[in-house]
Amino acid sequence: MVRELTSVGVAGYSVFLLYLVYRLGQGSEAYDAAIGLIMSPASIALHLIALVLALYHTVTWFNVTPKVIVIHLGEERVPAFMIAGAHYAGWLAVSMIVAWAVLGT
């Protein structure tokens, strides 16, 4: 139940990001105001809370994935740790690519 409630927080954060994108398209004054909003202590706290909610939601989903996705190789069932591990490996790979794109350029 807690995991499902975290999706409400993630959705709220998505609305906040959409608002920021809207403000950024309104011109230089709105852009400066949006940057000021992002740099405020309340916004930083919102980002940290959203990060914790998103991480909790992701980890709990990856841990339940082997129950949702059942893969058989012949007669044998693929072990749960391999299914969850593949998701964690993909998450790590995508995170590394994004970090490289953001920090490397």
Provide DSSP, 2-43: HHHHHHHHHHHHHHHHHHHHHHHTT-HHHHHHHHHHHHSHHH
In this prediction, residue 32 carries a pLDDT of 85
CATH number for the domain spanning 63: value is 1.20.1300.10
Strands 76-77, 72-73: pairing kind: antiparallel
Total structural domains within the chain: 1
Query: Which pLDDT score, from 0 to 100, does residue 23 have?
Result: 84
Enclosing domain of residue 77 = 2-103
Residue 73 is inside which H or E element, if any?
Answer: strand 72-73
Q: What is the pLDDT of residue 20?
A: 82
Q: What is the pLDDT of residues 36-70, one digit of tens each?
A: 888 899 989 988 999 999 999 999 999 999 998 88
pLDDT above 70 covers a percentage of the chain that reads: 99
**Residues facing residue 73 across a β-bridge:** 76
